[in-house]
Structure 1
Amino acid sequence: MKKIMLPALAFMMLFSCQNDTTETTAQNTSASLRRGCASQEVLDAQMKADPTLALRMNKIEEFTKNAMLNGRLVNGKVQIPVVVNVLYRTTAENISLAQIQSQIDVLNKDFNATNSDFNSVPALFSGVKANVGISFVLQSVVRKATTTTSFSTNDAMKKASTGIAPTTPTTVLNMWSCNLGGGILGYAQFPGGASSTDGVVIDNNAFGTTGTVAAPFNLGRTATHEVGHWMNLRHIWGDATCGSDLVSDTPTHNDANYGVPAYPHYSTCTGTPVEMTMNYMDYTDDRGMYMFSNGQKSRMAALFVSGGSRASFGI
């Protein structure tokens, strides 16, 4: 079992997934595109812009820890309304309602353990694989034409002047579909950030399972990963070599995994555990990730109790 440590001030991280053409290492399979993360750069910019952000994140972490220790977790069904904001310059970027609904369907399956690959979880982790029990309902779709060729992680897509401002972000999960530059797949804001930028951004080529999506990120798992961050989950390797993701039932990972690693893949961290490469919070291809753990479920549930940072979403 991993030792859970309270995070440093830099605990809160916005996540941005990137793909590139770097060849995979021996532990990874033959994916020619790889997830990667520019979150530290985004975090640095957020911290400079808002010096109080770290304090808010630490308070949320302390609340989460206490809620988990004291059993103050939601017992009902959490249902999240979703508004999808579509920014498009070309017809292809104006993704269809069917493509949008396919993404909502994936979120509902992945967060309720009804995904078809859930049964592929190895026996070693069968005792901790989780039905998170959170559902998502598409409330509306907002569309807007733009002259912007590609967006970056500076949140321009979330501003009315350059994109679409979020709809009631304290009670609605806002998702943005747009063309993200630099090979970026998506990024999310952790609890505690400004409401004006709260939500999840996904590249239109990784949004859902049909339409414009492209392998190996064509199964909607980019959004599953990003919504995990929106619900206060860290990367499974803790964004450091043999780091902590603040969850006790996920093995300590050396670093991110890419492609679809052969099982079992052993960590060289203390105890040389088998890494949970199929966890949604790793960096594997969409077809290589298909589970959350019970510990991650508890972290997410702690957000929705009275006093939790997303309690306004209700039950």
Structure 2
Amino acid sequence: MECYHGSAKRQRVSKVEPSALTRLANIDVLGHLAAFLEAGELCQVRATCKALGSSDESAFDGLSMAEEAARRVFESASDDEKAMLPRHNGEGWIELYHHLLMLRARLTFDQLVGRNIEYQEGDEAAVRATGTSSAICGNHIMRAGKHWATFVANRLYLSVGVIRPLPGWDQRALEEFTPNHLRFLEDLRRERTSRWEGDVHFCQFYLDGQCWYSNWEGFVDQRSFVDQRSDWEGINDFDRRINTLGMLLDLDSGTLSVYQNGKRVGILKDGLAGVYCWITCFDVPHGSLSIERGYHMTE
């Protein structure tokens, strides 16, 4: 008898499930739900539910319901946000939605590259190092528009700047890492994608006022470094005693600028194009630095 009732119960459930899924798999409902989901969670929805993950040529121009939900959320973003996130060729809407969420989030160093660097008190926006290592805002990829960041550091001989995205480099278990050293040149070149534009792949500004950049190509100096110095106007106005500085990556004009006391000191480098992440590099032991999105202007 118990088996009979169990069988009947299973039959009733099997009859209810398809209609329940049909009601849940409604693009308007999913569109509202997507606004509360991370991009990774939306990917899980697509992977675990056939009704939401399969493409429907007639309904959504070949997009899955999950992709269509991500597209709708992205299209509801502000004009300024969408201008900073032009869609790349072949880029999925869920991926683009992820970058929208990152644009709205606080900046964090998602990648620690080198064994001598760690977070300060668990804060991923603040790092300290005891040797040659780097920290990259790997999830916060900048592709267009103007991007501001504020850095607070306690050492002259560390640098801040921008670098091409280097996915997976925090998993390489490198003993040390600075992206201007010859030993990493070939591996860095292999990371190139169609989203790299121009020939400035890395630009770093030291807190003593020097700026260096690289195209990771043929130039190697006597120090076994693959970067060149930028003779930027304004270096004589830079105050080394101030440990808080702002940086502006303006991908509309292709420039990287430095700010102090709420005012621009100068343009460090021009010719920047394509995709970049914020980076800080430590060349000496016992340094620390924090990053924050935005910068307070006084002029």
Q: Which has the higher contact order (CA 8 A, sep 6+)?
A: 1
Q: Flag the structure with higher strand content.
A: 2
Q: TM-score, normalised by structure 1?
A: 0.24
Bigger-Rg structure (1/2)? 2
